[in-house]
Structure 1
Amino acid sequence: MASYLQIADDEKGHELDLFCIPRHYENDLDKVIIPHGLIMDRTERLARDIIQDMGGHHIVALCVLKGGYKFFADLLDYIKALNQNSDKSVPLTVDFIRVKSYCNDKSTNSVKVIGGDELSNLRGKHFLFGLQDIVETGRTMQTLLSLLGECHPKMVKVVSLLVKRTPRSSGYRPDYIGFEVPDAFLVGYALDYNEYFRDLSHICILNDGAKEKYKV
């Protein structure tokens, strides 16, 4: 069972005025639920765990765009630092895939994969590492894992920064988890609402007014 830091359903979070929030988002957020510094500390620990488990094996680090790009970059930075300063090291190459499964604040019933035709390059790799920002229903990652399975990698491990507690979950759990979070719509640290809020450093809860304001 993957270990993780649990954010409780009744977590009060932090007032926005305690943090540096871009002016253009000040009226769109309820609270900061995971400050940037805590994200970075947890990400560093995930990097240590991955090095401990995977040290010596070649990993293809597969980033799930767009929401995973910030977590992907920061996690790989920590892995690279550990490669230079510890007894174990992990040879790394990187690849990218884009998926889309949201319209406004609702997860759709379909998962659109963009760039899946390039996954054949991953055939037979020893360790394949999917990096995702958030697992909610689990359908996106299950679809991606099915595609990856067609390429016959030797092993697949998945790391997700967030896993949402929701009755809509299929029960899927990644191998590595940063935080388990309440069933709220979260933005920031590259998590978006219709492409907004990716430039927010902290993970925050979006308020209802913003859902209407940025609706498409």
Structure 2
Amino acid sequence: MNLPKDSNMALSERKQTHMDRGVVIRDAWPGYPLDLFTFPEHYLGDLECVYIPHGIIMDRTERLARNIMDDLGDHDIVVLCVLKGGYQFCADLVERIEVLCCNSSKTLPMRVDFIRLKSYLNDQSTQDLRIEGAENLPVLSGKNVLIVEAIVDTGKTMKTLLDHVKAFGPKIIKVAR
């Protein structure tokens, strides 16, 4: 598989097929009733319904892992996990990729690094992005990079991060969110 020198297409921006569209939740969706699920008792007064069951989230995470394997299988990658929110998603995604590697002829050697982004001062958004863990980013030079982030709001922070990561000269940058 020949990989383009500078591909910045996010995995979520891939050409979508009917199998890749994901789960659509309409604004009027009432959610699933709580009696269908078990959850810690101390949440009882705070929950009204469940919008997305854990199983659906894990199925989508596995689908994303398969997409990553299709795109990058047999090429070393550096997984750059954006803390704190991205930790569990990243752990689940890396685990699914490892399972797929065990059950296929493709391999995806991975190194996982962590960074933390700070663009808020108290409760106010600022123009400045502080990256904790940036001292490890020179390792990205010439590598295939997969940035794993849980939530992308306006996209400003992600754009700034992508520009910062590009400065280290990675071969490919992809974003899983």
TM-score range for the pair, normalised by the shorter chain length: 0.7 to 0.9
Secondary structure class of the residue paired with 2:150: strand
Select the residue among 44, 50, 59 that pairs with 1:26. 44
- Name the structure 2 match of 1:181: none
2:69 equivalent to 1:67: no
Equivalent-residue separation in structure 1 for 2:99 and 2:49 (angstroms): 32
Give the structure with the higher percent strand: 1
- Name the structure 2 match of 1:133: 150
Alignment of 1:1-216 (within 5 A): 1-2=13-14, 3=16, 4-5=21-22, 6-101=24-119, 108-110=125-127, 111-125=129-143, 127-160=144-177
Corresponding residue pairs, total: 158
Percent identity reads 49
- Name the structure 2 match of 1:168: none
TM-score by length of 2: 0.79
Structure 1: where are the runs of 5+ without partners? 161-216
Deviation per residue, 1:25-84 (Å, 9 max, x gap):
222334322111111111111111111111111111111101111111111111111111
The alpha carbon displacement at 1:118 in A equals 2.2
Secondary structure class of the residue paired with 2:50: strand
Q: Is the 8 A contact 1:68 1:131 kept in 2?
A: yes
RMSD, aligned CA: 2.1
TM-score by length of 1: 0.66
Q: Is the 8 A contact 1:116 1:147 kept in 2?
A: no
Give the structure with the higher percent helix: 2
The alpha carbon displacement at 1:101 in A equals 4.4
Pair 34,120 (structure 1): closer, same or farther in 2 beyond 3 Å: same
Q: Answer with 21-30 or 137-146: which moved more.
A: 21-30
Larger radius of gyration: 2
The alpha carbon displacement at 1:123 in A equals 1.8
